[in-house]
A = this chain, B = another copy of it.
Amino acid sequence: MEASDQEKKIAVLGLGSMGYGMALSLRRKGFAVAGFDVRPEVAERFARESGGQAAASAGDAAKDADIVVVVVVNADQTEAVLFGPDGIARTMRKGAVIMSCATMAPERARAFAASATTHGLDYVDSPISGGAQRAAEGALTVLASGTPAAMAKAEPALQAMAANIYRLGDEPGIGASFKMVNQLLAGVHIAAASEAIVFAKRLGLDMRKVYEVITASAGNSWMFENRVPHVLDGDYTPRSAVEIFTKDLGIINDMSRSAKFPTPVASAALQMFLMTAASGMGKDDDASVARLYAQVTGLELPVAKKT
């Protein structure tokens, strides 16, 4: 990192569990960071905790920033923040770079990059993964694509926030495509883990023993290993909510139809997430798909100890 990098001003728009940790990581590396969130108290907490700035609006945070990191929930929110009635693209400093971190269809990422260009801005398609804890540690995985010029401008922020930076190509949309492939698999694996662990219960097996055996066997997945403990503990506090996967597998469904590429396994998983959300568990942890299987089949899963 060049000495002058620390003088760069960075705006982080969206201080949810990921954005908050990313903003902290940037402060820790010495950047001037302005944070904005629709909940003003969150931005104020960020300022108190880190010595960063709590911005009163996205526009205030972004107007003199060299790098604007957009960490909102989806493509529509990203579009509103960048190009909506109060969109920041019109008021950002020319030549600044936007890092867009929400998971979205590649065509949305390409369209946003094109719009950014018309405003004299650079754009890095940079979906993230790793969860809140890694965000706070500056240890995210970033799936980045964009022009060499845009990537170079984003580099100091990438270095501060990520342990793994995949540089996937010169065109926006490639990062988004990689992320969608990951989400297809992640969503299917959560639904399969839910189906399997409750099926095991139906067969009368000891679910903790099943967890032990499967995590050491060819049936294992990152998601089985990570999510089944939520079921075993009866703890559905949302680390990642069911609605994230109705959204992401919904995008896969859109892409699938648009590309005339059948995705029957992902479609089956999507239906299970939809059923889970329809049953009132949309805001709960995505391992709640297991509760849906149990509910339908009249089986009792472990219940969290009251604290």
Contacts and interface: CB of A to CB of B under 8 A. Distances in A.
Number of copies: 2
Interface stretch (A87-95, A149-157, A207-215): A207-215
A210 B266 contact: no
A224 interface: yes
Given A213-B178, A265-B265, A268-B265, A192 B184 contact: yes
B265 A202 contact: no
Given A192-B189, A263-B195, A214 B268 contact: no
A164 interface: yes
Interface stretch (A52-60, A70-78, A254-262): A254-262
Contact of A268 (B143, B267, B293): B267
Determine chain A's interface SS by DSSP, over half rule: helix
A58 B220 CA distance: 36
B259 A264 contact: no
A36 to B, nearest CB: 28
Nearest to A263: B195
B219 A186 contact: yes
A241 interface: no
B185 A221 contact: yes
Interface string A172-210: 001001101111111011011101101110111100011
5 contacts: A166-B209, A182-B213, A185-B214, A218-B226, A264-B268
Q: 6 tightest A-B contacts by CB?
A: A185-B219, A221-B221, A268-B268, A182-B219, A188-B192, A177-B203
